[in-house]
Amino acid sequence: MRVPRARLDHLWQRGRAFLGTDLAIMGGAMSWVSERHLVSAISNAGGFGVLACGSMSPAQLAEEIKATQKLTAKPFGVNLITMHPDLEALIDVVGSLGVGHVVLAGGLPQAASIERLKGQKARVICFAPTVLFAKKLIRMGADALVIEGTEAGGHIGPVSTSVLAQEILPAINEVPVFVAGGIGRGEVIVSYLQLGAAGAQLGTRFVCATESVAHPRFKQSFIRAHARDAVPTVQVDASFPVIPVRALANRATQRFVDFQHEVIGRFRRGEIEQKAAQLEIEHYWAGALRRAVVEGDIENGSLMAGQSVGMVTREQSTSEILAELLGQAEQALASASFAMVDA
């Protein structure tokens, strides 16, 4: 085995063992994108695919899991949203179908949900935004954590990946920790592994995989975009909070600002109550991601993307993307070795 690969395998051995994979690289769960084809392709190429359940019903999720199992014999996981009204039934589905890993996203999970999953023999992965939350999640039974910085696509927190890594990785060693948000190259994965990460999670990098079912126009938007084009949604009034979502700027994001002003203006004039106004603002994006990913409406849909979108330059197979990341990681370790020898 090549020396750089041996060093890399040593660095992410904990992540590989936890996931049961050759590469400790998880695919980020992206609604309408992370379905059977992309997930199985990531797993078959040595990574760890993760199905995005999103708003699926238990029956729909069962169908998607079974379809994925027909496409790969390798390990893959399922991402469940903690606020889903049928969460308990979804947990029973993944348990009955033998899913080995479940990612709980969309907020701090209930201890009962973690316990229910572990009773189904699943390993539970949770998102930790701070050291305190990380320690709490471990006490609740989380088997691994993901720390995801504000550079990520979709719903985001306020702190960058690099800062979260410096805060959380030195403080947590009880469970494997995977780093996510803005990761697009193998050299960066190595840097986080050297800080103590067990592996990495990437989403945006896989959107333009040939196995991705995203609409061709959606993929072209990513290929044409630069890092600065992936921006968080704008909140115009603190009295009407907006959960920030990072996406490529388009007509819909520009219109969202005007829409907020219009709705808040109606509230100020006494035409609607505050709760109704807040709901109108929250519902603005309903169905917007599907319009973009599935239907290809890149002007009126939501183009959720992380800032690593600037590193998506063409459509590639999933295996090629993973091989590229692996080669970059090995080269970084080889260069470090030469530097040590020269010193």
Is 219 a domain residue?
Answer: no
Is 185 a domain residue?
Answer: yes
Task: Indicate whether 209 and 285 sit together in one domain.
Answer: no
Task: Indicate whether 189 and 231 sit together in one domain.
Answer: no
Task: Indicate whether 317 and 299 sit together in one domain.
Answer: no
Task: Indicate whether 251 and 332 sit together in one domain.
Answer: no
In the chain, the number of structural domains is 2
- Locate tokens 């260069």: which residue? 335
The residue segments making up the domain with residue 252 are 226-304
Is 142 a domain residue?
Answer: yes
- Comparing C-alpha atoms, which of 256, 244, 323 is closest to residue 285? 256
Let me know: does 128 contact 146? Beta carbons within 8 Å: yes
Is 331 a domain residue?
Answer: yes
Task: Indicate whether 146 and 163 sit together in one domain.
Answer: yes
For the chain, 343 residues long, give each residue's pLDDT as a single digit of tens: 477 899 999 999 999 999 999 999 999 999 999 999 999 999 999 999 999 999 999 999 999 999 999 999 999 999 999 999 999 999 999 999 999 999 999 989 999 999 999 999 999 999 999 999 999 999 999 999 999 999 999 999 999 999 999 999 999 999 999 999 999 999 999 999 999 999 999 999 999 999 999 999 999 999 999 999 999 999 999 999 998 999 999 999 999 999 999 999 999 999 999 999 999 999 999 899 999 999 999 999 999 999 999 999 999 999 999 999 999 999 999 987 544 444 4
Let me know: does 178 contact 200? Beta carbons within 8 Å: yes
Let me know: does 45 contact 220? Beta carbons within 8 Å: no
Let me know: does 271 contact 214? Beta carbons within 8 Å: no
Task: Indicate whether 94 and 201 sit together in one domain.
Answer: yes
Task: Indicate whether 105 and 236 sit together in one domain.
Answer: no
Let me know: does 176 contact 198? Beta carbons within 8 Å: yes
Is 342 a domain residue?
Answer: no
Looking at residue 84, the DSSP 8-state letter turns out to be -
